[in-house]
Structure 1
Amino acid sequence: MDAMKYLIRALALMLVACLAACSPEPAAPAFSATDVTGIDYARDFSLVNTSGKPVRLSDYRGKVVAVFFGYTHCPDACPTTMAELANAMKKLGARADKVQVLFVSVDPERDTPDVLAAYAGAFDPRFRALTGTPEAIARVAGDFKVVYRKVAGDHAAEYTIDHSAGTYLYDPDGRLRVYVPYGSGADVFAHDIGALIGPDR
């Protein structure tokens, strides 16, 4: 009798284990751009907003955050990317309220707080711009593996800046999840941001 009880108990445990093993796990989001989940850099940073107040990436926990490095005098990559992000926000509809776009200036010499606020707001009033001392910006850019350098023009104030032009997407838990290469388009942004927002948020 004891042997029978033992056998029944063992079979029950095996059945539970089998069911647990066979139960499908929730599928991870399928991103259109590059999945960088688990990467060990760009976890947080501290800069200042256009009001001069300190801002950390972690301040936006609970939202999907898109981080892009650029400058307001940029003739191509920056306005293109910002326009794509603005278009993606439109595609997301009401879900866009769960997104924060951060434009990080690599040109603090010309990108004053007023200039930055006007620039970011021209694409979408919800977009925010960040700046800091040259040293602080260089430190943050380095943590993101962003490269930039000043290219002299005919006059001292007419320089351009060569810079990395990808966008970094964080999930609502503050984890870097996606790298979107330059020129990917609004549909890619909308798809991947939507995947990070998730169906239940």
Structure 2
Amino acid sequence: MDPAKRQALINSAMKEFGENGYAKASTNAIVNSAGISKGLLFHYFESKEALFAALRTYTMELIRDAINKGVDWEKGDPINRLLEIATIKMGFFKRFPYLASFGKVMFEGESIERVWELTDLHMPNLSARVYTHNIDRSVFKEGLDPARVMKIIQLFLDGFSEEIFMKYIKAADDFDMDSELRDLEAYMATFKEAFYRARY
């Protein structure tokens, strides 16, 4: 498929599935938004189910590759690690504006066992690598549980990313990514003040 049509199809499908879920998503809406024929869609994907599965695989591998390549794995500051990953994900917005909404539904209807199976297949050991590889847990104040602190920060980042996504969707032309990244860095600095030993 032509690269431009492929990009249009990916974004159109992410939007339709993300907004309506798998069951209610319309392939007619997807092809109309993407500007391609239904015949072309089904030439590459035999069914809506096949399109959804392919898009899920693409999304997981896209995120995996970006994190594996974009993170400085030799540096062990845990909050900086999470900041790096959040920055990488935010960088997807202009190219894949509906990736976040699709991400919420891409395991729709799957058992937890199936979710883990897909994660292990397409993102093997990624979570463990993020939270453990070269991570310096000595930076945290005495008495704090590092895993719990990082979970708190990750929950914040999930909410922050959702807020940024909504801002982008409402006003893409006026969206200031640099400003949002500065805000994010300020929040991360606040977390460091709260959770890190003074020498850090």
TM-score of the superposition, structure 1-length normalised?
A: 0.23
Higher strand share: 1
Higher helix share: 2
